[in-house]
A and B are shown apart, each in its own frame.
Chain A
């Protein structure tokens, strides 16, 4: 009982802090707008004096409250029986604590707002309108009491749900791993037979490919631009996947190679500052080769370092490239802070590329090419050497792998892909400037690889779709995108360090010794 109380208290405080945090970053209001979009009831009539956005916000908050109750009524460690009372009590107490915390904040903020204290000078999200929305247009006292009631009730209901009603069944269902479900699905004989047929996969991929290639025809200009960006991130992700996922080298300065590709394309084809005006098809391979060369040059001294030092050195290198491109020193050479305008585009059979559809197809072709190359590399001698190296460097050296050469190769190929992505990016945007090459780009690409699944092509594509595509669909979430990136990186490391779609080899490792994902020799260091 005492443990359950402790657990419930903890859950209540945690969820209280989370809810207050969501309010302070202005997410509560956004959640209302988002759900209103989802239910398409934005223009519905007010109900009990509450606007649709407020009602939707309440739905979101009630869900948070339920979650708090569920987590407060968890079975405490060593608790054998599964009785009603502790679960309900746990949910109730978690909800009460949650409600008290949020209610106090609502009271405080509401009262200050009533006296016209301009809080949004210090806390940007606390605009008077937002506060009014949060308090449901009630007085601060009523609002606070309302939230106390709401969270207590939902907490109690959460307790009821988690163990009262379900008696554990619920928990088993909720905790069931979709991966196991997938595995069970694959055990069905008919599916097994279909999958063992050699060409099934090819047929599926072919259909997918046709669908993907048809999308740009129906999508508008804006969506084609977005699809192009996502595809470029797929390209970058596949490149970094070789470095991070296969060879196990964390590169935080990947944007540097992207920048080199983009700047090469821009400087060779743009009228300013050099007036070279070369053809796109000449500039493209030059950009790729230059990026690969930069990878070799940086890699040669740096790759002797071990993992975390390598990450920092590459980060430093990326920052150096960005600082150089921002500073006035190189203005005459690379346009300085103002960038390079009117970068040239490709012409094919005398027809210049000018619609966004052309570029989408160009980028798609590049992605296909890269997928092909990656696939071949991964299953080649080189790819196996990389994976061996990632797992255990010493052993792989004993097996006769020249680790330095292999690392250099991985680094250079990854850089070449980034160069290709950069060149296409600059040509598509018809502009390139230092703003495009911040540290955040590197982080995005790392996130794409890690969230999707290291060392795995479908994983990287899924990662790019989730991280770059989803925020475009949910436009209200734009401001929270980077925040979610950060949280996702942490959460992925805590729960699924192998990514959304783990590579098959990693899955096998996981099964062998659950918990240890990478080199077991390093993992032992406690």
Chain B
């Protein structure tokens, strides 16, 4: 932080204020937890289980998007503001695959009205994810090439403004092209939203949806794969080297531009997968679908310590849980779940900009 150089007295005042506020907030939180769970329990265990499930599902989607932010930030030290809109493009990709397969007839003797989507649900879902990821990856690649690469050496605010412009452009292009109505994601019948395994908790049934399980499993696979890619492969090593220091990496024979391009392709693909997950699980696509998840995933990335891949995963899960459980614990209206998310963003950035797992920021990176 820049104020490490200011007179020691002022720093300590700031720290004391931080501490007092932190203790007050923690006390309030503990008191609320006591009230909600022991004092006057508002919800039964079944409701909490529902919150928990939806939080984990949402959190894993956030985590996948957040990784994209973190990868790009780690390498370029810039916030890819258009990341959420790349996710939207991926969601539209998946949507169109489902619509196309729905239109292809695949009649069998038992069911002459069957379409390809329901005849081959596994292939359909796989193709939807692949197409969504591929289109998003392509958009990520071109986004970097057109809007960011020429600004690589510019001061920090310049690429950020360019990114905001790109985000607005993508949203409105999608609105003009696809129209502004909200569209229903037509899942295969096997994956109908709301269907799932029934769990018996506290005397009532809680549904563990198939789409939710698919989302969580897929995001775990993606995260493990990405971790392996960053830590074990040649490209991952090059990425880490470029993140550490571009000039030195270039001296070591790494093609810096190529690595940055590939980083954008990877982060775009992740966003695309997340978009299709979002569509399959929550069922809505429209031009603005990426904005809020994008912002929240950025929150998650900051929460976990931006630049760190495990941090983004943790931050995503944490944010998803807070968003679904938070209003219940704090006794607030569920309309204000987003306010909690943004409140956390503001608080974390103010009090601990390095995040949970945050790296120690050197002067250069600050």
Contact = CB atoms under 8 A, between A and B. Distances in A.
Interface of A: 21, 24-26, 120, 122-125, 248, 250, 252, 301-302, 304-309, 311-313, 315-317, 319-320, 323-324, 326-329, 393, 397, 404, 439, 443, 446-447, 450, 479-480, 482-483, 485-494, 497, 517-519, 522-526
A66 B343 CA distance: 52
Contact of B165 (A122, A301, A304, A489): A489
Given A24-B177, A450-B161, A518-B157, A313 B350 contact: yes
A490 B169 contact: yes
A312 B302 CA distance: 10
A486 B155 contact: no
Candidate in A26, A248, A301, A317 with the most chain B CB atoms within 10 angstroms: A301
A490 B82 CA distance: 12
B157 A124 contact: no
Contacts of B166: 486, 489-490
Given A324-B339, A518-B155, A312 B164 contact: no
Contact of B345 (A313, A450, A480, A485): A313
B25 to A, nearest CB: 14
Candidate in B152, B165, B291 with the most chain A CB atoms within 10 angstroms: B165
A487 B176 contact: no
B255 to A, nearest CB: 15
15 contacts: A124-B178, A311-B160, A320-B343, A328-B335, A393-B2, A404-B6, A443-B168, A479-B176, A483-B168, A483-B169, A489-B161, A489-B166, A517-B158, A518-B154, A526-B153
B96 interface: yes
A124 B177 contact: yes
Interface residues of B, number: 62
A327 B335 contact: yes
A306 B164 contact: no
B155 A480 contact: no
* B contact face: mostly helix, strand, loop, or mixed: helix
B199 interface: no
Interface string B303-342: 0000000000000000000000000000011011011001
Interface string B152-195: 11111111111011111111110011111000000000000000
A480 B176 contact: yes
Interface string B1-42: 111011000000000000000000000000000000000000
Contacts of A122: 96, 99, 178
Nearest to B306: A309
Given A311-B160, A493-B165, A319 B336 contact: no
A493 B96 contact: no
B3 A316 contact: no
Contacts of B1: 304
A324 B333 CA distance: 11
Contacts of A305: 349-350, 353
B122 interface: no
Nearest to A314: B346
Given A304-B3, A315-B295, A329-B335, A125 B177 contact: yes
Nearest to B169: A486
B123 interface: no
Contacts of A315: 295
A180 B239 CA distance: 43
Interface in B224-247: 246-247
Contacts of B218: none
Interface string B271-302: 00000000000000000000100010011001
A447 B167 CA distance: 13
B168 A123 contact: no
Contact of B350 (A302, A306, A482, A491): A302
B78 interface: yes
Given A482-B168, A493-B158, A497-B154, A316 B346 contact: yes
B2 A316 contact: no
B289 to A, nearest CB: 15
A408 to B, nearest CB: 13
B298 A312 contact: yes
A485 B168 contact: yes
A397 B10 CA distance: 15
Contacts of B104: none
A358 B333 CA distance: 43
Task: Please provide the 7 A-B residue pairs with the shortest distance between their CB atoms, ordered closest to farther.
Answer: A489-B165, A486-B169, A486-B168, A124-B179, A518-B155, A25-B176, A483-B172
B114 interface: no
B172 A482 contact: yes
Nearest to A301: B350
Nearest to B147: A490
B257 to A, nearest CB: 12
B151 interface: yes
A494 B148 CA distance: 9
